[in-house]
Amino acid sequence: MSSSTMVGASSSWSRAMLQISPYTFSAVGIAIAIGVSVLGAAWGIFITGSSLIGAAIKAPRITSKNLISVIFCEAVAIYGVIVAIILQTKLENVPPSQIYEPESLRAGYAIFASGIIVGFANLVCGLCVGIIGSSCALSDAQNSSLFVKILVIEIFGSALGLFGVIVGIIMSAQATWPSKGG
């Protein structure tokens, strides 16, 4: 393959990326923020719940107090919903003549990047909280004095999702659309 073909191929990709509407990037970013966050929460609940049910066979007393781990996992999905609502409010109507202006593209990319950051941070957070919640249930079944100690670690794991939310909100602050008068 000649170098001119390589250059032409790469420039056609960049042209294609510039022809995708910023609203499409925004919509995909919002969908990733909520969808992947819910996936992380579900995965964490699955991990925690299966261990909780198994450990409750040996020690039924752990069932109610270890539900806090499931609630921490559910908070991850709520983080995604909150950020999706925030990102949705960032969308503004732009005249068709300004849809591909650099400011519009930057706004679309900022919302897209924010959604990706929040979604994947919450995916990892859900897994982290689920695994820690699982070990909390299993440890509590063996020795009830370990519950509070492991719960503190679970709180630190839950902070990962909040970090993703904070970074996502900071990233979405770059989303400013062109004014309608220009």
Q: Which domains, and CATH codes, for the chain?
A: 22-174 (1.20.120.610)
Both tokens of residue 127? 């897994």
Q: What is the mean pLDDT of residues 47-57?
A: 92
Candidates 173, 42, 23, 27; CA nearest to 100 is 23
User: What is the torsion angle, in degrees rounded to the nearest 10, for the CA atoms of residue 141, residue 147, residue 153 and residue 158?
Assistant: 80
Instruction: List helix spans (H) across 92-146.
Output: 102-142
Both tokens of residue 7? 């250059």
How far is 140 from 59, CA to CA, in rounded Å? 9
Q: According to the model, what pLDDT value does residue 7 have?
A: 47
Both tokens of residue 17? 């990326």
Query: Is pLDDT at 45 greater than 70 in this prediction?
Result: yes
Q: Mind listing the pLDDT tens digit for each residue in 119-171? A: 999 999 999 999 999 999 999 999 989 999 999 999 999 999 999 999 999 99
How far is 149 from 140, CA to CA, in rounded Å? 10
Q: According to the model, what pLDDT value does residue 175 have?
A: 86
Q: Mind listing the pLDDT tens digit for each residue in 73-130? A: 999 999 999 999 999 999 988 888 888 888 998 999 999 999 999 999 999 999 999 9
Q: According to the model, what pLDDT value does residue 179 have?
A: 80
Q: Mind listing the pLDDT tens digit for each residue in 9-23? A: 556 777 777 788 899
Q: What is the mean pLDDT of residues 9-38?
A: 86
- Which residue in this structure is represented by tokens 């007393």? 61
Candidates 171, 33, 34, 24; CA nearest to 104 is 24
What is the longest distance spanned by two Cα atoms in the chain? 71
* Contact by Cβ (8 Å): 120, 83: no
